[in-house]
Structure 1
Amino acid sequence: MAHYMSSGEDGSANRGGAAEMPLRSDEDVVRLRKSVREMAIEIGLSLVDQTKLVTAASELARNTLRYGGGGEVRLTLVSNGFARGLDVVFSDRGPGIPDVALALSDGYTTGGGLGLGLGGAKRLVDEFSIDTSPGAGTRVRITKWKR
């Protein structure tokens, strides 16, 4: 299984309150956006950081639906001892991403979505990782920390 990791994925964060929900329809994406916004407010993210996180989560949720055939998402409040954050994990059992580097590159699109792509979603958050394998699905994890 291919793994891509950005800053901070060392497993040291303490996990707090969590919510899980299916991603099977556009209505599920709307519910996810609302839940992400509520949890972001709960930890005190600025309006700009709330918007970045909700936008990244929307893009990844739509990717989960469109390319992964639907899946699940888990939202977890986290703390690293100094800051609070929100960790969002998208999982599907779709075809996987054959070329993660290409999918993360600027300008790469397969059409649809918000036009951000994976690279755009990655830039909106503080931590980003992808685990994927052809035929075995994809797991994308994002985290936004309160500054």
Structure 2
Amino acid sequence: MTAGVDLGRPQAQAIGSDEDVVRVRQLVRTVAVAVKLSLVDQTKLVTAASELARNTLIYGGGGSAEVTAVEDGRRRGVRIVFADSGPGISDLALALTDGYTTGGGLGLGLSGARRLVDDFDLKSAVGEGTRVTITKWSR
């Protein structure tokens, strides 16, 4: 157990407010430190998680994040699953294009988060919600 976090099981955090986005960032940082990601990789992962948590809140109407310490036999990492039951994304390819936004931002949230992590998986269905899974591995 590290700083109140049981690395042996997924850690869930509801996302329903700006304060919850901060809690996601803190949880991700705690798990990233515990699995010994480098400071650079910690920063990349926390930045990606912050963007995705904010998207979950703003575009998905809230949802959850599940943070898990993972191993693949050679290395350790952190996997985060963001899920919402919002309106979904009708055109995934367009949503992942730099500069595309439906909210007036810079349009770098999804595409930027994808560049910051090692594994990125986006599933969405209109009217059903969105699920984004990211993983950052130790080097």
The TM-score with structure 1 as length reference comes to 0.86
Q: RMSD in angstroms over aligned alpha carbons?
A: 1.5
Closer, same or farther: CA 112–143 of 1 in aligned 2, 3 Å? farther
What is the deviation of 1:136? Answer: 0.4
Q: 2:26 aligns with which of 12, 19, 34?
A: 34
**1:37-65 superposed Cα distances (whole Å, 9 cap, x missing partner):** 01000011111100000000000000000
Q: Does 1:100 align with 2:84?
A: no
2:39 maps to a residue whose letter is L
Give the number of aligned pairs: 133
The alignment status of 1:45 with 2:37, answered yes or no, reads yes
Distance in structure 1 (CA, Å) of the matches to 2:105 and 2:20: 15
Does the CA-based 8 Å contact 1:16-1:79 persist in structure 2?
Answer: no
Q: Provide the rounded CA distance (Å) in 1 between the counterparts of 2:107 and 2:41.
A: 19
Percent identity of equivalent pairs: 64
Show the 5 A alignment for 1:132-143: 132-143=124-135
Q: Is the 8 A contact 2:99 2:107 kept in 1?
A: no
Partner of 1:90: 82
Which residue type is aligned with residue 130 of structure 1? L
TM-score w.r.t. the length of structure 2 is: 0.91
Structure-to-structure mapping, 1:1-147, within 5 angstroms:
16-111=8-103, 116-147=108-139
* 1:90-126 deviations in Å (ceiling 9; x for gaps): 0000000010000101221233567532011000000
Higher strand fraction: Structure 1 or Structure 2? Answer: 1
- Point out where structure 1 has 5 or more consecutive residues left out of the alignment: 1-14
Give the match's secondary structure for 1:68: coil
Aligned 8 A contact 1:96 1:137 in 2: yes
Q: Which has the higher relative contact order, 1 or 2, with Cα contacts under 8 A spaced 6 or more apart?
A: 1
| AA matched with 1:37 | R
